[in-house]
Chains A and B, each alone.
Chain A
Amino acid sequence: MLDMFLGTIKDIALNSGFANITGGQALMLIVACVLLYLAIVKKFEPLLLLPIAFGMLLANIPVAGLSAHNEGSLIYYIYQGVKMGIYPPLIFLGIGTMTDFGPLIANPKSFILGAAAQLGIFLTFFMALASGQFTPQEAGSIGIIGGADGPTAIFTTSKLAPHLLGPIAVAAYSYMALVPVIQPPIMKLLTTKKERSIVMEQLRPVTQREKIIFPILVTIVVSFIVPDATALVGMLMLGNLMKESGVVDRLVKTAGNEMMNIITILLGISVGATTTAETFLTLQTLLIVVLGVIAFGFGTAGGVIFGKIMCWATKGKLNPLIGSAGVSAVPMAARVSQKVGQQENPSNFLLMHAMGPNVAGVIGSAVAAGVLINILG
């Protein structure tokens, strides 16, 4: 009986995580704990970084077999929603219910700044390709980090380079949290004190009818030109139409709260669980982290430079700082424009003006994603 007891203990010990852990897994567990620290203590995009980090933790526990690549595991089935491109559009549906396109409708020229900020995507694509470490599909997925839009980055990567999903998602969400750190130096470098002090005139009021027609028109125009962007743009606009129509309040509440929270949890865990030691601890991951910062920098610079051009074209009526909000980290990028503007001129309120390019950037990054999927997919 004692032999049987000792044998059982020995079997348990040999099958435990302690006996089977590899160096890579140990390192990944440390990375997961660092990300959990950043999410909980530093509040870096905690809504997504926390489940991603915990998914990473689960995927790297030895013997448990909870990786997203491990067929038959719980997370493998949750991951199918990412793989099939279901979760990101549903998140866009929720985002649509919380987005006010009023500032964009009031000043349609903001669309230009939303487009300009997507330059970061394509310049980073070029740099990733030039590094010689990535295929065009992988380079496209890395470039999309510059859109500063998590669901778009995940959607594009799941189509073009699913094996890079973990590093790209972690980079995208980490840098989105760092927008207030990354953007101001670039904004100040590219603008003069006089430009930063420009006070913009108040936006015109937007009618409810315009707000209702807007999502319908955007869906038609975008879908006809870039059909690959329809899943993202269509769901974003459906959410917005539900909100603005005012006739489906219960659906709006569900899409913006319960459903979005559930999808966020599932998306985070399953994306985190793709980051096994073999796929994450590579030179490619390091390059993705570096290129991610460059992507954000180029996106911000593109928006500000076009802001300067529009400032010149409007004879000084447009503050170039709102161009930086074209990267679609909503509403952080708009808040950064407001903050930098107020540092120069305390009576300057750029927030509503910056929200125009900010939401235009969401549409712009979805269009850019559709274009990349079409060309590279």
Chain B
Amino acid sequence: MDIAYALSVIFTGISIVFLVLIALILVMVAMGKVLGGTGKKKDDAPSAPVKNAPAAPAPKAAPPQMAVQSGTPEEVVSVISAAIAAFTGGKGRITSIRRAKKEAPRGRSAWSMAGLRENTQPF
């Protein structure tokens, strides 16, 4: 076995593998900087303390009671309220909760629609 040859193959091989992957690191870091992926977001910067902050506003009057259709369980009202609060960030206000009218039956059944979709989707 020619040790010099073997070592040259090993050294060349390892060097090139590292060279390629280090080149990729540099490319990825550059890409991150260009696309703003690695930079800190502006929101992350600590906000400077505000001098002479205005006094806290007086508490608002309690919102009027929402109108809930009779026969709607309390749990359902709670879940709907929580979902809307989460969606609007607590800014929305529910004025009433009532049951939606049932949709009139369509011309095609669910199975018929599924078959139609299956055959027309590729086009």
Contacts and interface: CB of A to CB of B under 8 A. Distances in A.
Interface of A: 104-105, 108-109, 111-112, 114-115, 118-119, 121-123, 125-126, 129-130, 132, 136, 140, 204, 206-207, 209-210, 213-214, 217-218, 221-222, 225-226, 360, 363-364, 367-368, 371-372, 375-376
B25 A371 contact: no
A111 B21 contact: yes
Interface residues of B, number: 27
Given A129-B6, A375-B12, A204 B38 contact: yes
13 contacts: A111-B24, A115-B21, A118-B17, A121-B13, A122-B14, A125-B6, A126-B10, A207-B37, A209-B35, A214-B28, A217-B27, A360-B21, A375-B12
A123 B17 CA distance: 14
B116 to A, nearest CB: 19
A226 B38 CA distance: 28
Given A371-B12, A376-B9, A363 B24 contact: yes
Nearest to B36: A207
Interface of B: 1, 5-7, 9-10, 12-14, 16-25, 27-29, 31-32, 35, 37-38
A210 B13 contact: no
A130 B1 contact: yes
B119 to A, nearest CB: 16
A242 to B, nearest CB: 18
A360 to B, nearest CB: 7
B10 A225 contact: no
Contact of A207 (B7, B22, B35): B35
Given A108-B28, A217-B27, A368 B1 contact: no
The interface residues of chain B, by DSSP majority, are classed as helix
A115 B24 CA distance: 11
Nearest to B27: A217
A52 to B, nearest CB: 28
Contacts of A367: 16-17, 20-21
A213 B36 CA distance: 14
A221 B20 contact: yes
A246 B21 CA distance: 27
Contacts of A206: 37
A371 B23 contact: no
Closest 9 pairs (CB-CB, A-B):
A108-B28, A111-B21, A115-B21, A122-B10, A108-B25, A371-B13, A111-B25, A115-B18, A371-B16
Contact of A225 (B12, B14, B20): B20
A213 B31 CA distance: 8
A363 B21 contact: yes
Contacts of B13: 121-122, 125, 368, 371-372, 375
A129 B20 contact: no
A225 B23 contact: yes
Contact of B22 (A111, A218, A226): A111
